[in-house]
Structure 1
C-alpha cells in the first residue's frame, strides 16, 4: 500500500476510474460526489453532457477493462451494442454514401448514463472504496503552498450536517471543466499553471428518440453519420453540420447535430426542421420515423483547455488532476472518457513502480500524463485551428488556418477512401482515431502516405476496386463490399445495376 487514505473529488467517469486504480494501493479510497447518484442509468445535474452521444474509443475500453475487469462484458450485458462501424454505420462523406465493408475497428455503443451506471456497479464491488453522495467540496487543506515542500494534505467539504475535513495522502481532482481546484491552490500560494486554450465555437444539439418497433427494410444500418459539406457555394447552414443518428441501449437513438460557429436549434420544431435540411435525405427521414422522448439539449461549453501542471517549477505534492479537470477537449472528437481512463492507468503504474511519494513522483506522473494527452490534443488542434473565429492561445497564423481549412476534410476523405483497399492505411488510421498512435506518427509514416498516393493514382486511372460516392439523396446501400473484386464502377452504376 502507498498510503492510508486517497480522496477523489467527483464521481463521474474520470473519478471512478481513478478510484478503481487507487483501491489497489490505499487502505481507503473516498469518492466525494455532489449529486445523489441514481441506481439506474439516469441523467443527473453534475453530468449535463450525458444527454449527448458518447464514444468510448478502443484505448478507453481497454483502459477501463484493465481497471475494472469484465467492464465491457457488463456494459454489453446491460444493453450496450458491440458493433463494427464500417459494417453497421452508414457514413455520408463528401461525395455521398461510403461503401459498406468490414474493417479492423469495433465499438461498444451505449449512452453515457449506462456507462456510468456500469462503472458505479464495478466500483461498489471494491470494499476499499466509499462513495459519499450529496457533499460539496469547498476547499483543499495544504501546507507550504508554492514552495518545494508544498503539499496538499486533505480536503474540506460541506454536508447537510455542516463543514467537514478529511485528511488524505493523495487527492485526485476529477471535478471536470468547472473545477475550483486552481483557485484553491492559488489562495494557498501556488502559481496558476499555464493554460493552452482553443475555442472553435462548436455548438451541438441533441434529442433522444425511440426507434420504430418495425424499422423500414432499408435500415440495415444502426448508426448514421453525415459529415459537413465541402461545397463552397450557396447551401443551407445545415449542410455544414456534423450529424449523428447514434444508437444506444433499449431500442433508442440520440439524434445529434453540431457545427463550428453556427447557431443551432433549441426547440423541437426547429430541431426537426433542421434534421430535414441535413444534406443526406435519410437523416431527416430517419428522425421523423422515430418517436421523440426528450426535449432538445444544447451545449456550447466545448472549448479545448489544457492546464499545464507539468510546467510548474513546484507542482503541488499530493494532488493529481484527471479528466476534464486537467485537459478538456472539443467533445466532437470523443476523447474525454478515454483520455481520463488512460490517465488513471498512468497513475496506477506510477504507484506500482515508484517507491517515494515525493515531488519527484508527481513530476514523473505529470510528464507521463503529458505524453498521453499530447496524442488527443494534437488531433483536436488539427481541425479546430482551421477556423478564423477560433479564439485562445493556440490560434495559428492566417496561412496555417487557410491550409487547415483547405486540406483537413479532403485529406480525411482520401484516408477513408484509401482505407477501403489498403489494410495498412485502414489499420493505421484506426489506431490514430482510437488514440493508440499519435497524429505525428501517422504523418511521418512513409508506408501510410504511399497507400494514399497509390490509391489516388489508381482513382485517376479508373483502377480502384471498391466503389464510393453513392447518391446521398437515396438510402445508403447495404451491399457488403468486403472482398469485392469486381469492376470499378460508380455508386450510381451499382445502384442502377
Structure 2
C-alpha cells in the first residue's frame, strides 16, 4: 500500500478510472461527487455533455479494460454495440459518399450515460472504494505551499448544511473544465501553472431520437452511423454545408443527431434544428432524422476550447496531488479525445504507483512527465485542425502564414489519406492508430512508408489504375455495396505490404 487514504474529486469517467487504480494501492478510496448519482443510465447536472455523442477510442477502451477487467463485455451486455465503422457507417467526404469496405478499426458505440453507469457498477465491485454523493468540494488543505516540501494533505467539503474535511495521502482532481483546484493552490502559495489555450469557437447541438423498427426502415438504410463532413466548396452554399454532422447510434434502438461547426451559430430550438438537419449537404441526413421519433429537446454546447494546465512546468509541483481528465487538459470535443485521454492518465498513475514505494517528489515528477508525453498525442491532433481558423483565440494561435498553410493543406492531406486507405492497408492502419491515440501525429508525419503509400496511390489515380471507387452522389442514398476484396487484377491490396487486415 502507498498510503491509507486517497480522495478523488469527482465521480465522472476520469474520477472513476482513477478510483479503480487507487483501490489497489490504498486502504480506502473516497470519491466525492456533487450530484446524486442515478441508479441507471440517466443524465445528471454535473455532466451536461452526456447529451451529445461520445466516442470511446480504442486506446481508451484498452485502458479502461486494464483498470476494470470485463468493462467492454459489460458495456456490450448493457446495450453497447461493437461495430466496424468502415462497414457500418456511411461516410460523406468532400467528393460524396465514400465506398463501404472492411477496415482494421472497430469501435463500441453507446451513450455517455451508459458508459458511466457501467463504470459505476465496476467501481462498486471494489470494497476499498466509497462514493459519497451530494458532496461539494470547497477547498484543499495543504502545508508549506509553494516550497520544495509543499504538500496537499486533504480537502474541505460541504454536504447539505454540514461542512468538514478529509485528510488524504493523495488527492486526485477530476473536477473537469471548471475545476477550482489551481485557484485553491494559488491561495495556498503555489504559483499558477502555465496554461496553453486555443478556442476555435466550436458550437454543437444534439437531439435524441428513437429509431423506427427495423422492418419499417427504408431498404437503403443499411448503415448504423451517418457522418457528413463539412463542405470544401469555397463558393456560395448554405451555412449548414459547413456542419460536421453525426447520426450516432446508441443503445436501446436510439440515435443522437448532432450537428456542429467552427465559428457558426447553431440552432437551439426544435424547429430550427429540424430545418438545419434538412439542409445538411447530404440529403439522407435530414431524411433519416425525419424518419425517427424525437425523445428530447435540443441540447447546445459552446464550452469547447482546448485548455492544458501545465503543472509539469512548475519548479515545485504540489506533492500529494494529481490531476486527470479535463481538469488537467480539456480538448475540443469534436475530436472525441476526452474520455480516452482521461483513462490513459489513470493507467499511467497505476504504472507509476506500481514503481514507487513512497509518494515523494520523484513519484510526482515521473507521473507529470509521463502524463505530459501522453497528452502531447491528442493535443497535437487538436492543434493541427483548430489552428487553421482565423477567428481562433488563445495562447496557441499561430502566425498568419502558418494558419493559412494549415487551412490550405489540412483538407487535401486528409482527403488523400482517406482515398489511399481504400487500397493500402498500411496507410489505413497507420491513420487508424493516430485517430485512436495509439500513435502520435509526429510519428505519422515522419513515416516514410506512410507517405510513399499516399504518393503511389496518387500516381495510380492519375494513371486511372485505382480500383475502389469513391465520390458517390451525396444527393442519393449512400451505396451499400461492399468493396472489400476488390483489387487490381483480383489480388489482395494488402499483398504488397505483407499485412493482413484483421
Matched with 1:186 is 186
| Secondary structure of 1:82's aligned partner | strand
Q: Does 1:427 align with 2:422?
A: no
Deviations 1:70-112 (A, max 9, x none): 0000000000000000000000000000000000000000000
| Secondary structure of 2:432's aligned partner | helix
Matched with 2:305 is 303
Matched with 1:390 is 392
Matched with 2:497 is none
The Cα RMSD (Å) is: 0.9
Matched with 2:289 is 287
Report the alpha carbon displacement of residue 259 of structure 1 after superposing the two structures with TM.
0.2
Matched with 1:495 is none
Matched with 1:436 is 438
CA distance in structure 1 between the partners assigned to 2:143 and 2:38 by the alignment = 37
Preserved contact between residue 465 and residue 486 of structure 1 (Cα < 8 Å): yes
Matched with 1:209 is 209
Q: Does 1:93 align with 2:89?
A: no
Deviations 1:425-452 (A, max 9, x none): 0000000000000000000000000011
Report the alpha carbon displacement of residue 410 of structure 1 after superposing the two structures with TM.
1.5
CA distance in structure 2 between the partners assigned to 1:269 and 1:486 by the alignment = 49
Structure 1 segment 233-244 matched on structure 2, within 5 A: 233-244=235-246
Matched with 2:449 is 447
Deviations 1:124-154 (A, max 9, x none): 0000000000000000000000000000000
Deviations 1:279-317 (A, max 9, x none): 001001000110110000000000000000000000000
CA distance in structure 2 between the partners assigned to 1:283 and 1:459 by the alignment = 30
Preserved contact between residue 199 and residue 392 of structure 1 (Cα < 8 Å): yes
CA distance in structure 2 between the partners assigned to 1:265 and 1:363 by the alignment = 45
Matched with 2:168 is 168
Preserved contact between residue 423 and residue 487 of structure 2 (Cα < 8 Å): no
Task: Extract structure 1 runs of 4+ deviating beyond 2 A.
Answer: 485-488
Matched with 1:117 is 117
Matched with 1:256 is 258
CA distance in structure 2 between the partners assigned to 1:439 and 1:286 by the alignment = 35
| Secondary structure of 1:38's aligned partner | coil
Q: Does 1:320 align with 2:322?
A: yes
Matched with 2:337 is 335
Tell me the TM-score normalized by structure 1: 0.97
Matched with 1:54 is 54
Report the alpha carbon displacement of residue 354 of structure 1 after superposing the two structures with TM.
1.5
Structure 1's unaligned 5+ residue stretches are 489-497
Report the alpha carbon displacement of residue 487 of structure 1 after superposing the two structures with TM.
8.5
Report the alpha carbon displacement of residue 161 of structure 1 after superposing the two structures with TM.
4.5
CA distance in structure 1 between the partners assigned to 2:424 and 2:489 by the alignment = 17
Structure 2's unaligned 5+ residue stretches are 491-502
CA distance in structure 1 between the partners assigned to 2:118 and 2:487 by the alignment = 43
Preserved contact between residue 465 and residue 487 of structure 1 (Cα < 8 Å): no
CA distance in structure 2 between the partners assigned to 1:361 and 1:192 by the alignment = 21
Report the alpha carbon displacement of residue 381 of structure 1 after superposing the two structures with TM.
0.1
CA distance in structure 2 between the partners assigned to 1:166 and 1:354 by the alignment = 24
| Secondary structure of 1:164's aligned partner | strand
Report the alpha carbon displacement of residue 355 of structure 1 after superposing the two structures with TM.
2.3
Tell me the TM-score normalized by structure 2: 0.96
CA distance in structure 2 between the partners assigned to 1:486 and 1:425 by the alignment = 17
Aligned length: 488
| Secondary structure of 1:205's aligned partner | strand
Deviations 1:338-394 (A, max 9, x none): 000000000000100112311121111100000000000000000000000000000
* Worse overlay, 393-402 or 352-361: 352-361
CA distance in structure 1 between the partners assigned to 2:363 and 2:393 by the alignment = 35
Matched with 2:493 is none
| Secondary structure of 1:347's aligned partner | helix
